[in-house]
Amino acid sequence: MRPDRLNPLFVTAESLKGVGSTLARPLERLGLARVKDFAYHLPDRFVTRRAVANLDEASVGEQVVVKLTPVEYRTSSGRGPFRVLASDEPGNICAITYFGRASYSGKKALPLGEPRWVAGRIDQYGQMLQIVHPDHVTEESAAALGQLTEPVYALSDGLTQNRIAALIQQAMASVPPLPEWIEPGLLDKHQWPAWRDALELAHKGEHPAARDRLAYDELLANSLALLLVRNSNRKQIGTPLVGDGTLRARLQLPFELTGAQKRSIAEIEGDLAQAAPMLRLLQGDVGSGKTAVALEAMLIAVEGGAQAALLAPTEILARQHYETLSRMAAPSGVTIALLTGRDKGRARESILMGLLDGSIDLVVGTHAIFQDAVTYKNLAMVVIDEQHRFGVAQRLMLNQKGRRTPHCLAMTATPIPRTLTLAQYGEMDVSKLDEMPPGRQPIDTRVVAIERMGDVVSALGRHIESGHQAYWVCPMVRELETEDIAAAEARYAEMKSRFGDAVVLVHGQLRPEVKDAAMERFASGAAKLLVATTVIEVGVDVPNATLMVIEQAERFGLAQLHQLRGRVGRGEGKSTCLLLRGPALSETARDRLALMRETQDGFRLAEEDLRLRGGGELLGTRQSGDTPFRVASLEQIQRLLPIAHDDARLLMERDGGLTGERGEAARLLLYLFERDWGVQLLRGG
């Protein structure tokens, strides 16, 4: 149960004055569902303005507050702007300009002959100064001068800065003070304010200490929760699994195991032999052979007289794993089944019976394999693919499916920098596949200007005619009026008009059955071109697809580009990845694309990605595996996470854990950041 003193923070957004059905959707898009969410919706930046007595004191490009008197309205024909000519005290004229629907509000806010205080950016319009869509127009100087430093928040359609700022101010009024959970010496060393004070300061101006304190709270909550999971896991009783090697000796692997694979298998084998359940992460770059390691691990369990299961995040990936494992394990005689939500009737009943009586050794599937109706004879080993889609809380439910707590091997194909590994998987031991199997051909990666789109489409046509398949990835699902970003739906329509039914479309907003049908057409070879968003970055394995086109590649992060590129180069044929770039590139974007040409080492790219993005610049769309944090920036994670990790360990090992005054405060912290599964573990619940 959440402590009562936190309840004001978890009241729904509808409790705030002015929040109704109209605002519900834009607030939901920003993740603003409760008072707590508003309090932690921190400004992206601040606008700093200068109060000037007249326009002579202002510079073009400067943010100012100035007293102006409207003297004339000027309207334009058609869709032209509406301008209010206004004079300062010495008689200098400035145009206050409005476009579109804002024209009406401009006329209302600036009546002729009545002085107003105007806040906005000074620009040049011909020979005249102008302020386009002023941020504030007020009758009182005090109100305008109160906006000299103003937060700028992330918005979604239907919200304005004024509206979101007012809602945040309203939410902050109901935020209670909480006891201190940070160690006093650490608090003094960094000169961090108290928790509620830090929230207030973070919304009012540039206060690095306040932002650091809030980031540290989130990192401490995460570190503490992961440590509680690890400690709980060590107390669990698992089934020691020792294999005799008979099944593994009969495997039909497509290549000789690399040194990294052999090392990882040995580490897993050592864990499985222990009574304490294994909790290990297998990190492997695209194509590094994680599936072979997972199969070896599961066969150790079967040799030890138990069952094993492999959980995949999507049905498509589950089917691919089933086919791959069945092919490699065929000579061993192991019985493998596939179970997804699609399986019904007698086929499903047959699989459920096989799991119950033990005649099925390995099962591959989606979350369906852990539904209440699924019972195992002796499940002792679970492999979870694409770990970032299956969090700690979900992993805990696995404990209910075996006689004892099953051993758990989590796999991720996203190379993760060392700091972020600690942040996301601090409770797990880590094995890393940092070698590629022999015979893997490098992918020919080229950067192509968007102006050569016609040449690229022609080359794509020749590629398809030769019998091969291709991907075309766009940054967005559909175009926005405000941004010139390539959209998958528009590109699909264009490609379909050229290549007909050989083209399919996949993006995250499609219904699951529509998306699965398109993917199956492409995987079977019936479709030759798959137009998609980044939804395909994980889990699509089509060896005949040997061309990847990534449009506006400069909008993606390095790690994401690498994941997308990894969809090709999965067969014996030579593969190519074309990075279509826009006309204007920042220096960071140039470095990123140059690195993509230079190397295919995912671990190096992940480290460089983190370095290039730094604290404030999240390049491209946010990646699903980036970080589990809302408040802490990448720079703060790198700087503060090791301190939080050590502090969490000291709290548990030296300072009495979650008992005593600081321990009780730390419980509040876990609930505040919704890491309360750590508290549940401590209770044994």
- Which residue, among 570, 520, 546, has the nearest Cα to 462 in the 3D structure? 546
State the pLDDT confidence band at 388, using cuts at 50, 70 and 90. very low
Contact 296, 329 (CB under 8 A): no
Q: What mean pLDDT is predicted for residues 236-262?
A: 91
State the pLDDT confidence band at 622, using cuts at 50, 70 and 90. very low
- Which residue, among 245, 239, 305, has the nearest Cα to 274 in the 3D structure? 239
Residue 390, pLDDT score:
54
Token pair recorded at residue 187: 């608090």
Q: What are the Cα distances from residue 631, in Å, to 251, 640, 673?
A: 47, 12, 10
pLDDT tens column, 251-267 = 988 788 999 999 999 99
Residue 356, pLDDT score:
95
Residue 549, pLDDT score:
96
Q: Which of the 8 DSSP states describes residue 386?
A: S
Tokens 């050989």 belong to 502
pLDDT tens column, 355-371 = 999 999 999 998 888 88
- Among 8-17, 234-243, 400-409, 538-547, top mean pLDDT goes to 8-17
Q: 3.40.50.300, 3.30.70.260, 3.50.50.60, 1.10.260.40: which CATH number matches 444-599? A: 3.40.50.300
Judge whether residue 425 has pLDDT over 50: yes
Judge whether residue 486 has pLDDT over 90: no
For residue 274, the SS3 value is: coil
What letter represents residue 54's amino acid?
N
Given CA atoms 233, 408, 415, 311 in this order, what sign does their dihedral have? negative
Q: What would be the CATH architecture of the domain defined by 239-433?
A: 3-Layer(aba) Sandwich (3.40)
Residue 627, pLDDT score:
57
Residue 485, pLDDT score:
58
Residues 190, 106: Cα–Cα separation, whole Å:
47
For residue 130, the SS3 value is: strand
Contact 508, 479 (CB under 8 A): no
- What angle (nearest 5°) sits at the alpha carbon of residue 193, between those of residues 190 and 196? 145
Judge whether residue 211 has pLDDT over 60: yes
pLDDT tens column, 527-540 = 999 999 887 765 56
Residue 680, pLDDT score:
66
Superfamily of structural domain 46-152:
Nucleic acid-binding proteins (2.40.50.140)
For residue 27, the SS3 value is: helix
Residue 625, pLDDT score:
38
Residue 618, pLDDT score:
28
Residues 564, 558: Cα–Cα separation, whole Å:
10
Residue 327, pLDDT score:
92
Residue 682, pLDDT score:
59
Q: What are the Cα distances from residue 345, in Å, to 194, 351, 354, 376, 651?
A: 59, 10, 15, 19, 52
pLDDT tens column, 270-310 = 999 999 999 898 988 877 889 999 999 999 999 999 999 99
Share of the chain above pLDDT 90, in %: 53
Domain ranges (residues) in the chain: 46-152, 239-433, 444-599
Range with lowest mean pLDDT among 199-208, 457-466, 670-679: 670-679
pLDDT, averaged across the chain? 87
Share of the chain above pLDDT 70, in %: 91
Residues 226, 422: Cα–Cα separation, whole Å:
10
Contact 401, 376 (CB under 8 A): yes
Residue 398, pLDDT score:
65
Tokens 């690399």 belong to 258
Residue 103, pLDDT score:
72
What is the β-pairing status of strands 136-138 and 116-121?
Answer: antiparallel
Which residues does residue 336 pair with via DSSP β-bridges, in sequence order? 362
Rounded to 10 degrees, the C-alpha dihedral 551/554/556/560 comes to 80
Residue 617, pLDDT score:
31
Instruction: Provide CB contacts within 8 A for 61, sequence distance 6+.
Output: 121, 122, 123
Residue 57, pLDDT score:
94
Q: What are the Cα distances from residue 585, in Å, to 290, 343, 453?
A: 36, 49, 17
- Chain centre distance of CA 90: 54
Residue 392, pLDDT score:
57
Contact 645, 636 (CB under 8 A): no
For residue 529, the SS3 value is: strand
pLDDT tens column, 585-617 = 888 888 889 999 998 888 788 778 777 764 333
Which tops the pLDDT comparison, 146 or 139? 139
Q: What mean pLDDT is predicted for residues 446-466?
A: 94
SS3 of 616-660: CCCCCCCCCCCCCCCCCCHHHHHHHHHHHHHHHHHHHHCCCCCCH
Residues 639, 208: Cα–Cα separation, whole Å:
13
Q: Same topology for domains 239-433 and 444-599, yes or no?
A: yes
Q: What mean pLDDT is predicted for residues 85-104?
A: 89
Residues 578, 600: Cα–Cα separation, whole Å:
14
Q: What mean pLDDT is predicted for residues 332-338?
A: 94
